[in-house]
Amino acid sequence: MTPKHIWSGGWEAESEEDARRRAEAEAERLAHPERYEAPTTVHPTATGADEERSGLGRNRIIALAAVTVLAVGGGAFAAGALLDNNDSSSKGIARPAALPAVSSKPITPTRGQTRAGTIYAQDSPAVVSIRTSSGSGTGFLIDGDGTLVTNDHVVESATSVQVKFGTDGRTLRGDVKGVDPSSDLAVVHIDPSAVPSGVKPLQFADSTGVSVGDVAIAIGNPFGLDRTVTEGIVSSLGRTLTAPNGFQIDGVIQTDAAINPGNSGGPLLDDGGKVIGVNSQIATNGLSAGNVGIGFAVPSNTVRQVLPGLRLGKTVSHAWLGVHIEAPSGLSPSTPSGAAITSVTTGGPADDAGLQAGDIVTAVDGQPMDDSTDLSTYINSKAPGDKITMTVKRNGQTQKIDAVLADQPPKVP
């Protein structure tokens, strides 16, 4: 039986061409091993006919183990990062309440059926394929008003997309209501009357309840294959990724459930069929853009906070300090832990406050900062306009420096 795919086009030829290129690269690597270190890379998991225009070809990111320089702040959304503004004419978000989280209990499969099969039968009708002029990805229905969730890097700059439910042959128009490159999330709206009969929206779980080793089930459209399900576990928590605009996404869920190009924007589900994350990126060994068992999902609590504003067409505001940071070099008993400032953005909050390259931030508002991730995560939990007090080591001396956080720029300066 020929595999079913919901979009016409050359995805099969593209896959064969990718396989040919990978085979050639592997042959070259085997012939000249001294030239290759097989670096790990992280790719957004959208797919398209033109790799340079798709989510896969742009924004290639060095793997987490190699990432040492982070742009602070930005990245994952935190509740404090919304503008408190109820003016509907404002470009800022109106601080609507977060989408609710529901309790999740493991589904008990019927006799002769697996848990993954039961969850797939329940949830897959709400999973859609999203296609733009440059590529395709996945999305899923979250309410009865025609609201779909996907990745920012799936819709890119499009204002409208094509949407298909796997249970329905029609191509629907989807209007992009809002995007947040800092969390790699987007909202697409379709006519609710066009949703196929019987399709139930997916619900969000509280991602703080997720533990390493929990069941993780992904549903998406890898290489255009309609609503493919894969199962694994939660491999790790609290990872960080680089967002499409270069800032940092915090609290990311790592999974070994197979995720491939085309899975972007699809749901990562727990054993109760509730959404714990939105699949966004995969790590590879540099020779292949396919799954090697390391995938990453934006956590559901980030999604729950960002989506109400995006659904209203508002802009999400993130706090920004305006520094690049890394772990202090030459760690030894005499080297302080903390976040080392490698550069300061001219005219940014850190520059205005007097921070300098070479400073090591060891605490903020009395909370210890053990490394660069701690500082980034703390800034991401604040809102523009918030004042922070940093404890800074400079030339062996400790001092306190106050800064007022600003709105994050559209991309890393």
Q: Catalytic positions, please?
A: 153, 184, 264
Cα–chain center distance at 305? 14
Say if CB 257 and CB 270 are below 8 A apart.
no
* Distance in angstroms (rounded) separating the CA atoms of residues 203 and 123: 10
Q: Cα–Cα distance between 17 and 25 in angstroms, integer?
A: 12
Amino acid at 118: T
Handedness of CA 226, 227, 233, 236 (dihedral sign): positive
Q: Please say whether the beta carbons of 172 and 191 come within 8 A.
A: yes
As a whole number of angstroms, the distance between CA 160 and CA 173 comes to 7
> Which H or E element spans position 129?
strand 127-131
| Closest-CA residue to 278 (of 183, 211, 376) | 183
Q: Are 349 and 72 in contact (CB under 8 A)?
A: no
